[in-house]
Structure 1
């Protein structure tokens, strides 16, 4: 909402303007929701193999949903959204993979997390763990914490289950064998902030997602993947911060979660 409000205040956007977004789901849902409330038209580009729940929610908020070929992945959705936005003046590309506004918003999240931790007697985090899609969370929230406590390590988690996650399979080359292809502009510009990348297997991610749901936390696989790494580091005695960025109600149509 912050980016849309800024655009309306500056005159970049006006009632009826088209706002264009490439997504694999959750960011597109958020854009569709806020665009409708601000009197804007959201045009969301998303790979056709994303869950039916996400497609339904985006359309329910009044957005135009453009499904892109599964074979192209999120990279294809990004390319097609950018081309569409450039076809006609007045179309505003809300590019979560390259927009520093996302980093600024997530920095506020990091400061909020630190304040909550201090209220519980935790002065700082040894590590911040986040899945890397746009890079906004690990760079924004993690960077804000690292600025306060330079010893805090920022741990990127590439997706173990690309079709299920809310970010692309190819993320960043932090070390050999991790990702190939898309390197979001946010990651490219702030790569020096990242300390490490940790891979999680499909099986580990699924098991942790199921465990969290059975414990009463109805989260999706991105959250489960983050939690796997958080548990590993916490077992070593470290104080860690991670995030649960997705909800199970957007994945229930998938066979992997029929038993939850």
Structure 2
């Protein structure tokens, strides 16, 4: 995704004491809500394996993106690139990133414009809307249905081309988290903090992560491998849109393992399977293997989790389904890591 670059001064600017306090309050709230919880299942118990999940649902807006955007905004303010008085934040989303940006914009006094496919679940659209600032420019622009990330990016680029000189008297601050190294670093810091708080745990042998724009998966992989260089990183994608699998292993390998790729690429593992869009922060070398998952597999797991009182969203259920799948053939004592990205109420 291309964007107009944020301006950057050559030196850091000190933030006011009040501004520092605002950022520190949000960091404290995030830190207080960092949770690593044990997840059980018959497959894990039967194989003698264990699993712990980063419960990102506990974070503000029930989204793992809050620490990512906090890091981006704070760093950009430090170098004098943006401020609430001069800039409007702009970002694209399939739901979770947009809610996080909207919430932070309200907290930090920014105006904001968010682009989102119009055929996302109503609950996700409403989730972004309810967190938007109450004053000033606070727009949620819905992009054409059935074109997912690719269509959203096209509309986003058209908007930027029309407003190169700004919008409503302010400059546009294109956050573009999928193209920023700060995004990967923020996730790496979060996972490192979780590991430090739970240093009595045995190291994680295998991590199961959803493959979207690569910032979360890459940050998790880096943090876990600092703690245990042998940790295997297994990606999860929708069978309908195995975009990262094709980039890493090729279409011929997919055909051999799973058969022909569907042409429409429509799926419900939101935040992953962004067919046709390449993300520069996706370090494919960090991923050991990728498991494309059929819809009925993760839906079955999701229903089971609901019965156990764990109402996680589609992508989280897919990751936990793969944990069960791998546990059945893993050595007893294998310790799995995964993420509960969001709740089922966002679907």
Q: Normalised by the shorter chain, which TM-score bucket? A: 0.7 to 0.9
Residues paired across the two proteins, number: 241
Structure-2 change in CA distance of 1:82 and 1:105 (3 Å)? farther
Deviates more, 1:2-11 or 1:209-218: 2-11
For residues 38-87 of structure 1, the C-alpha deviation after alignment (integer angstroms, 9 at most, x for no partner) is: 11112111111001112122222233111111132112212332443453
Q: Is 1:141 aligned to residue 220 of structure 2?
A: yes
Structure-2 change in CA distance of 1:159 and 1:105 (3 Å)? farther
Contact 2:94 2:117 in 1 (8 A): yes
Q: Is 1:212 aligned to residue 282 of structure 2?
A: no
SS at match of 1:139: helix
Of 228, 246, 249, 2:342 maps to 246
Give the equivalent residue in structure 1 for 2:317.
Answer: 224
Structure-2 change in CA distance of 1:47 and 1:171 (3 Å)? farther
Contact 1:96 1:134 in 2 (8 A): no
Give the equivalent residue in structure 2 for 1:94.
Answer: 175
Structure 2 distance, partners of 1:159, 1:102, is 23
Give the equivalent residue in structure 1 for 2:205.
Answer: 126
Structure 2 distance, partners of 1:12, 1:143, is 28
SS at match of 2:339: coil
Q: Once the 2 structures are TM-superposed, how far is the Cα of residue 215 of structure 1 from its aligned partner?
A: 1.0
Structure 2 distance, partners of 1:230, 1:116, is 23
Contact 1:212 1:219 in 2 (8 A): yes
Q: Structure 2: which 5+ residue stretches go unaligned?
A: 1-69, 133-137, 166-170, 255-272
Contact 1:170 1:183 in 2 (8 A): no
Please tell me the root mean square deviation across aligned C-alpha atoms, in Å.
2.1
Give the equivalent residue in structure 2 for 1:43.
Answer: 113
Q: Is 1:32 aligned to residue 102 of structure 2?
A: yes
Q: Once the 2 structures are TM-superposed, how far is the Cα of residue 137 of structure 1 from its aligned partner?
A: 1.8
Q: Once the 2 structures are TM-superposed, how far is the Cα of residue 208 of structure 1 from its aligned partner?
A: 0.9
For residues 156-175 of structure 1, the C-alpha deviation after alignment (integer angstroms, 9 at most, x for no partner) is: 1113577xxxxxx7445222
For residues 3-60 of structure 1, the C-alpha deviation after alignment (integer angstroms, 9 at most, x for no partner) is: 1122223221111421111110010010001011111112111111001112122222
Of 146, 149, 153, 1:78 maps to 153
Give the equivalent residue in structure 2 for 1:107.
Answer: 188
Q: Structure 1: which 5+ residue stretches go unaligned?
A: 163-168, 252-260
For residues 129-171 of structure 1, the C-alpha deviation after alignment (integer angstroms, 9 at most, x for no partner) is: 1001111121101122113322111111113577xxxxxx744
Q: TM-score, normalised by structure 1?
A: 0.85
Q: TM-score, normalised by structure 2?
A: 0.65
SS at match of 1:71: coil
Runs of 4+ in 1 over 6 A off after TM superposition: none
Structure 1 distance, partners of 2:198, 2:336, is 11
Q: Which has the larger radius of gyration?
A: 2
Q: Once the 2 structures are TM-superposed, how far is the Cα of residue 106 of structure 1 from its aligned partner?
A: 0.9
